[in-house]
Structure 1
Amino acid sequence: MSKELREMLQKLEQMKAEVRALLGEDKVDEAEKRMEEVRALQKKIEVQRQLEEEERGGLGLGGGYSVGGGAATKEDAELEREYRQIFMKAIRRRPISSDERSIIVEYEKRAVMNEGGANPAIPDGDSSLIVPKDIQTRINEVMRAQNDLSQYVRVEEVTTLSGSRVLEKDEAMTPFAVIDEYGVIPETDNPKFVAVSYSLKKRGGILPITNELLTDSDQNIINYIVRWNGKKAVVTNNKLIIDLLLTMSPKDLADLKAVKKVFNVDLDPAISMSSIVLTNQDGYNWLDSQQDANGRFLLQDDITQPGRKLLFGRPVVVCSNRYLPSIAGTPNKAPIFIGNFEELIVLFKHRFFEFAVTKEGGDAFKRDTTDLRTIMRNDIKFWDTGAAVYGQLALS
């Protein structure tokens, strides 16, 4: 992005702010005149963009990707690199220039991540910025490597802090009636719907970064932030999902035949075929020790994904006993959830992580650190409670 384009974008934001101020003072005529100038500048910016794209070799694909999720262009890749440099500069609490602020505005606008419209002027050194796309991807990779249970449920990206989704109620349908020639077509039963409401909750934490670490390379700092946020996100998501699962009514499963009955009878055939098995280490150990009459273990290797096991052809997911403990008793019982978790649970989330940094506030000044505050907003709800069964497996 050229300096000329950055200056135009910055001027555009200033002019929009002036229009809002005029509207706030009920100066509608003046606001309309100013808005004409805004539209003219927007056209000029678009022409400038096209000119720069032509100078870089046209609109062909470049060596990057779109921050907004569309086709990759050289301009997008360049914007991504520039924004990442500003992001690391903000992490180090260094001043951000007016040109760099215009890059922030442009990046957030393309990423469709702005909350509530206009982006306020960002003070020097403030890093209240969205996480760059390439770092988001790396955090997701770390989360997957640590068996984030949110990869098995439905995840909905939302743009508002509260709202609802409409779901068709699971009820038995009656067949269409037979109609004689010239006969009157009767009314049929109507579909029924239920609303699933969500209200996002803010969750976060503070990561102290030593000022010695901040003098290291960008790559080492990013690796440190990625690992920490990835682990915290996994723990957060897994607890949300497990706590919700444990609110289901449990069913005693005395043996493997009872487990098989869940697949064959308790679940709808379509749900059963797309199911997974979620249990803890105790439950997995019990399943992995079961043998048929010929001494062959019933858990089979998944040839499409080495290291994963299958029970009756369904993937088995193992959660640590630390987060999903067994139920004490005589005998002890291991929790085992069988079903399609994408149909069972929906995780609503807004944006990705938000970062803000200080080296004066809190305990940062006393311990000579730079504190990175991370905030995420999400909520979790049941979607279709008939899509899974909560069993308690007797560990005798």
Structure 2
Amino acid sequence: MNAKQIRAAITTKTAEVRSAIDKQDIEAAKKSNEELRALKESLKIAEELEQQEEEELKRQAEEQKEKEEREKNNDPEKRDKNFNREDIQYRAIGKYLLRKADNPPALTKEERASINIGNSGAILPQGFVNQLIVLTKGFPSLKQYCHVIPVTTNTGKMPISKGSTTRKLAKLATDTEMVKEMITTAPVEYAVEDYGKIYPIENSVLEDAGVDLYNGILAPDVAECSVNSENAEIIAIVKAKAVSGASGTDYKAIQKTLNKMVLPSLKKNTIILTNTSGYDYLDEITDNQGRPLLNESLAVDGGYTFKGRPIVVLDDEDLTPTTAGKIPFYIVNLFALCKFFDRKSYEIATSTEAGFTQNQTFTRVIERFDVIDGDDRCDFYIEL
């Protein structure tokens, strides 16, 4: 018998033991109980065997996978078919941007097919954009808290529902017609803007780095500049739409705002946005038993929450208070407030003429996005 069959037999034998006890048939109860013990011992052995068999099958599968991988690496045809497409794209972009050099590297047929050439440069592959997303995780990006809407055009409209006036369903009775009411929507227009930067690069560095320059050297700086630009647009909306939160001179004003002013339907994505001074202030607060009010949480990027809401910390220069000497706090639902229209593409181009007298090549990187305000019912400002 296998483990499953033994478990079924144990269930049956247990019932026999209980039945014999109920009938006060001691001899039958003893006999059935001995058989039950034997079944339980058999179950332990069967489970151990099944575990060993499972581990052996897993080991064989791993060996087969390693064998296939070795065969693939030893076969040039298979290896070429599995070549990383992103590597081909990076190499193609590098060659394209170096095309004005004295001895420009020639693009292969596969490389020409792997990139998209725009009017003034090459469109970076999605892999480069994904890499920027990974790199920006080292910086306090506000985009991740917004409602990000991928778009493929520079302009357009998106309707936002404001619900209906009647907030209940009508109780129906015989021959009673249901209430007719339209859901009101407001169209939000977006116009994607270009955000860019020019990097002067020494030609000697360009020759040494070659096609790896764009992926290895530019990406970290582009990522940081991208986050700072996005944050600036988001913060501008937060500041423009914010209303005063609960009054108070200490952290209890934040608590009152969260408890009494934030609508239950908007609490889920609400964050507490502050600067390093605000974080330092909250970090020093303790309850009556000396326990910190900030709670550590692995579920949020910042690592800390206050009253269950993530603490998002920006630099003091990025988030300044309205009144000098005060500490700013925004209790805001960025997902509801900010509609982030993302073109998800970076265009890169170079010019050797612009930096001819300095023996430099100018590299230009452009990102496209727009941020529009939406539901501003959860955007409160407090100064402490």
Aligned to 2:98: 92
Instruction: Please identify the structure whose Cα radius of gyration is greater.
Output: 2
Number of residue pairs aligned between Structure 1 and Structure 2? 302
Distance 1:212 1:286, change over 3 A: same
Aligned to 2:237: 244
Residues 115-162 of structure 1: CA distance to partner in whole angstroms, max 9, x if unpaired? xxxx77xxxxxx811113332222211212112211221222211111
Equivalent of 1:194 in 186, 191, 195: 186
Counterpart contact for 1:144–1:151, Cα < 8 Å: no
Residue identity matched to 2:373: F
Give the SS at the match of 2:176: coil
Within the alignment, does 1:81 sit opposite 2:87 as a pair? Answer: yes
Aligned to 2:256: 261
Aligned to 1:56: none
* Distance in 2 (alpha carbons) for counterparts of 1:318 and 1:91: 38
| Superposition deviation, residue 202 in structure 1 | 1.8
Aligned to 1:383: 374
Equivalent of 1:168 in 161, 181, 184: 161
Higher helix share: 2
* Distance in 2 (alpha carbons) for counterparts of 1:290 and 1:281: 15
Counterpart contact for 1:272–1:339, Cα < 8 Å: no
Residue identity matched to 1:371: F
* TM-score scaled by length of structure 1: 0.69
| Superposition deviation, residue 310 in structure 1 | 0.8
* Distance in 2 (alpha carbons) for counterparts of 1:153 and 1:317: 13
* TM-score scaled by length of structure 2: 0.71
* Distance in 2 (alpha carbons) for counterparts of 1:346 and 1:169: 15
Unaligned runs of 5+ in 2: 1-71, 74-79
Equivalent of 1:205 in 197, 205, 223: 197
Q: How does 1:1-396 map to 2 (within 5 A)?
A: 79-93=85-99, 94=101, 95=104, 99-100=108-109, 103-105=111-113, 107-108=115-116, 128-170=121-163, 172-181=165-174, 183-217=175-209, 218-219=211-212, 221-252=214-245, 253-254=247-248, 255-304=250-299, 308-329=303-324, 332-361=325-354, 364-386=355-377, 388-394=378-384
Give the SS at the match of 1:232: helix
Unaligned runs of 5+ in 1: 1-61, 64-73, 109-113, 121-126
Give the SS at the match of 1:236: helix
* Distance in 2 (alpha carbons) for counterparts of 1:150 and 1:295: 35
| Superposition deviation, residue 295 in structure 1 | 2.0
Q: CA RMSD in A?
A: 2.8
* Distance in 1 (alpha carbons) for counterparts of 2:82 and 2:337: 37
* Distance in 1 (alpha carbons) for counterparts of 2:107 and 2:291: 69
Distance 1:171 1:318, change over 3 A: farther
Distance 1:382 1:225, change over 3 A: same
Aligned to 1:12: none
| Superposition deviation, residue 351 in structure 1 | 3.7
Residue identity matched to 1:92: L
The percentage of aligned residue pairs carrying the same residue is: 24
Distance 1:249 1:78, change over 3 A: closer
